[in-house]
Amino acid sequence: MPSIAQRLSAHREPTTVRMVVQCPAHASTLREGPALGDGSGVSWLAFLCRVHAEESPEWAGVATHADRGSVPCGSVMDFRPIEQVLRSHADLWLTSLTGVCANTGDSVWTDVLAEAERVLRARLTQAGAEDSPLQSIAMMIGLARRSAELGDLGQVASSLGYCEMLALGLEP
C-alpha cells in the first residue's frame, strides 16, 4: 500500500529536497502544498513536528495529515518547476540575507547569484570573517552561479538548498 506521501505526490520524483527548519525532532505532521497547475499532484510536502507545524506560516499548506516520524522535522519534498523552487529560495532566505531581490529586472539567475555572492564577499571582507557559515554560503552561491551560467538550474537548486540549511543557523 502506498504511503500518504506517495499518494499525494502521485509517485513523482521531487524536483528538490530541502531542509527548511533546524529541529532535532521527527515529523508528526505532513503538510500538503497546493496542487500544481498541470494537475499532476501537490506542489510540495512539508514534514514538521507539532511545534513547527503551528509556527511555520510559509509552509501552511492546504491540508494537514498525521505523520509517524518518517523523516526529520523541516524536510520538504518540492515538486514545483525549478524556476518556482528558485523563487522560493529567494523569497524565504536569499533576499533577506543579501538584500538582492530576484524580482527585479528579468530575474536572470546568473545575475542574481553574482550580485548575492558579491554582497556576501563584501560583508565577509568587512567583518574579517574567514571561517563562518557565511563563508560557506558565499562559496556555495558561487557554485550555484557557475551552474546557472551552464544552464543547470537543477544544480543551482541543489546548491541553494545547502545554503538554505546553513542560513538557518545564522543569527537574525
Each residue's pLDDT, cut to its tens digit, for the chain (172 residues) gives: 668 888 888 888 999 999 988 899 999 999 999 988 887 789 999 999 999 988 877 777 888 899 888 899 999 999 999 999 999 999 999 999 999 988 754 558 999 999 999 999 999 998 886 778 899 999 999 999 999 999 999 999 999 999 999 998 886 5
Measured CA to CA, the distance from residue 146 to residue 92 in angstroms comes to 22
99-137 pLDDT, tens digit per residue, is 998 875 455 899 999 999 999 999 999 888 677 889 999
C-alpha cell at position 44: 510540495
Give the integer Cα–Cα distance in Å for 109 and 117. Answer: 12
pLDDT at residue 1 in the model? 62
| Residue type present at position 147 | S
Set of cell numbers at residue 10 = 502521485
Reduce the DSSP state of residue 49 to 3 states and report it.
coil
- Cβ burial of 13 (10 Å; 0-12, 13-18, 19+) is exposed
Cell numbers representing residue 145 in the block: 552561479
Which grid coordinates are listed for 85? Answer: 523552487
Distance CA 124, CA 57 (A): 31
